[in-house]
Amino acid sequence: MNEQTMPLPGPYARSRVTTQVIMLAVALALMPAFGYGLYRHGLQAAVITGIAVGSSMVFDVLTDLSLRKRISVLDFSSLVTGLLLGLSLPVTVPLWMPAAAAFLAIVLLKGLLGTFTNIRLNPVAVIRLILWLGFPLFLYAPEDPSALPPLSVLKAAWAETGDLTQALAELDIPQMIFGSVPGAIGTTSMIAIVIGAAFLLLTGVIDLRIPATMLCTFVFVLLLFAPDRAPTYLTVQLAGGILMFAAFFLATDPWTAPLTSGGKYLYGLLIGLVCAVLRIFQIEESEAIALLCANLLSPLIERVTMPRPFGIRSEVLRHRKAKKEDEPEEEEEDEADEDEDDAVVVEIEETAEKTEAPVAPETPAEGTTTATVTGTPPAESTAAATVTGTPPPQ
């Protein structure tokens, strides 16, 4: 049988939960956040999100054609990528920016970087980081104080007054929970995000290992090292920024997250730890930075937490590991022994040649003739003969 058509060994598993079904479930889970953004920001939110979705699907088809890959636009992964990109952008961005973000996410990050390297970065985190570094006016609008997100308001008020309690008093926590604050289209409403996350949890698309570990680590670090441990401060940190959106929709992305069970816990812990430390130092876009750090370490986390093969004890694994480590030393020892044996053989041959006694030729007596008969013996004799004697008389 041809090796290319030979079936893989079992066991096999069948499931109706395909990539298409999972992506459609994620798209439905994003509808509460999109609906609230549409209600709050109007038609502009729909235009920006639509450009991001359409551009992502078009670039997905073009990338597959250029790389000679199977067209994967019907698995709706590009649809979800476009929705996440559109919902993570504020309505103040120009219309070319959602298309540029889709090009960067689909063509560069997923198409080229994801195909030819083992580096997989979350597109939304990369876009947010680029906006923060290169186009901060679109995210924070410092010329308009009323358009500042809650965490930026807290940072500015704390720097001005020097009193954290007074700075917290300037924030309306109920509005932060409902989402009636400046920010991106679909990341401000904590209630809408939780509704979508509950749908994903009930349908089994995601589990709580990554988001729960991330949020618990975040709160624990703040309780230990934050300048204020009051519930008001913790609520502001949880409801501000894109923390909840990142916990349930970005960190659980199967394209960038580890697949092992232990790796998911470690992955969530790393994101929560880095995000909390950056929040303590009032560094903006802490969620994007923490996600990218975890994405870069995701292959290492998965390799470290890979479970051992079923039925193999730890002693056997340690023995195999020790045997592999000793193999180079044994090969070196065998080569040294072979070289030593060759040297001994050469020395023995040289000694044998030196000690071998030379044979002196016999000197015949006067008046005698010596004839040496060599070659093929006569028929009546089967051996070589040496005839020595007195020649016959004349």
pLDDT digit string (tens) for 153-177?
A: 888 888 888 888 888 888 889 999 9
> Tell me, what's the pLDDT at 332?
57
Distance CA 100, CA 82 (A): 11
Six-digit token string for 308: 């051992």
Helix (H), strand (E) at residue 386:
strand 386-389
DSSP 367: T
Looking at 149-158, 291-300, 318-327, which range is the least confident one? 318-327
> Tell me, what's the pLDDT at 141?
58
Distance CA 90, CA 38 (A): 12
CATH number of the domain within which 235 lies: 1.10.3430
> Tell me, what's the pLDDT at 387?
41
Does the residue 37 lie in any domain? yes
Domain total for the chain? Answer: 1
Domain ranges, residue 203:
16-304
Does the residue 359 lie in any domain? no
Q: pLDDT digits over 369-393, tens only?
A: 444 444 444 444 444 334 444 444 4
Looking at 38-52, 56-70, 106-120, which range is the least confident one? 106-120
Does the residue 86 lie in any domain? yes
Does the residue 356 lie in any domain? no
- Segment 337-343 shows an average pLDDT of 61
**Is it the case that residue 352 has pLDDT exceeding 60?**
no
Closest CA to 289 of 133, 177, 97, 101: 133
Tell me how far CA of residue 52 lies from CA of 42, 83, 233, 315, 326, in angstroms.
17, 7, 34, 54, 56
Closest CA to 291 of 261, 260, 255: 255
Tell me how far CA of residue 275 lies from CA of 43, 214, 272, 287, 339, in angstroms.
33, 9, 5, 6, 61
Six-digit token string for 255: 């394209």
Looking at 86-90, 107-111, 141-145, 297-301, which range is the least confident one? 141-145
Query: Predicted confidence band at 22 (pLDDT cuts at 50, 70, 90)?
Result: very high
User: Which residues are paired to 388 by β-bridges?
Assistant: 370
Does the residue 96 lie in any domain? yes
Written as one letter, the residue type at 137 is L
**Is it the case that residue 394 has pLDDT exceeding 50?**
no
Written as one letter, the residue type at 331 is E
- Segment 281-301 shows an average pLDDT of 94
Q: pLDDT digits over 255-269, tens only?
A: 899 999 999 999 999
- 301 and 258 Cβ atoms separated by less than 8 Å: yes
> Tell me, what's the pLDDT at 297?
95
Distance CA 247, CA 121 (A): 16
Our CA angle for 228, 233, 234, nearest 5°, is 105
Alpha helices in the chain (DSSP H): 19-29, 31-41, 43-66, 77-87, 96-103, 114-116, 123-134, 136-140, 150-161, 164-169, 173-178, 190-202, 209-225, 231-239, 243-245, 261-280, 286-304, 314-355
Does the residue 203 lie in any domain? yes
